[in-house]
A and B are shown apart, each in its own frame.
Chain A
């Protein structure tokens, strides 16, 4: 089955801890994205990557870091510098970035809660 997987489904973090959210895709897509969803708000872009070993900041990158060492993987680290990390995190991918045909597909999400 082709698709996007995210793990874990639920994650709990203590104050001051860094945590890493996993995102894997087997769609052979070049571009991958991380979004954050808060209640009553639209999704907001954290980071995106158009190709291996390259990534760009989105609208709310402060307190987050990413890596793109493999085409199929785009992990997100939520650092202790992120002041309000409790949210639902969604990973997405598309065959290429930009253009009319850039349809994005989403994973099932990770819900992060700070204790």
Chain B
């Protein structure tokens, strides 16, 4: 059974710091991996999708990597800003639907 783990559960950093969020999964047979952002009480916003045949994807200050063989993905956020404060979720595609981790709650202080 696929399990997705995100460490740490919470992270606090000062503005301007570069940071890495981690995601691990137990079954490497995935179609893709998605990173989402969720603000309190809101829906999910898709940040990046990495196909199983890809190693990384970039969007602005965000860079996500995927290592299927080790069952790991990282989300790198460069030059963090207070507006980056949110919960970040990773999810792997198993067949039709997604399997989610519990998320990392990020707080960036000014």
Binding site for B on A (CB under 8 A): 4, 6, 31, 33, 35, 40-45, 48, 50, 56, 58, 88, 90, 92, 97-109, 111
- Residues on B lying within 8 angstroms of A by beta carbon are 4, 31-32, 34, 36, 41-46, 49, 51-53, 89, 91, 93, 95-103
Looking at the assembled complex, report how far the CB atom of A8 sits from the nearest CB atom of chain B, in whole angstroms: 14
Cα distance A33–B99 when bound, in Å? Answer: 13
Residue pair A98, B95 in contact (C-beta under 8 Å): yes
Nearest CB in chain A: distance from B7 CB, A: 14
Contact check, A111 vs B43: say whether CB atoms are below 8 A apart. Answer: no
Who on chain A is nearest to B48 by CB? A103
Inter-chain pairs besides A6-B43, A58-B97, A99-B31, 8 sampled, C-beta below 8 Å: A40-B102, A56-B96, A98-B93, A100-B31, A100-B52, A104-B34, A107-B43, A108-B43
Min C-beta distance of B23 to chain A, whole Å: 11
**Which residues of chain B have C-beta atoms less than 8 A from A100's C-beta?**
31-32, 51-53
Chain B residues with CB under 8 Å of A101's CB are 32, 49, 51
A12, B88: Cα distance in complex, Å: 28
Quick one: closest A residue to B42, CB to CB? A108
Residues of B within 8 A of A109 (CB): 41-43
A41 touches B43 (CB 8 A): no
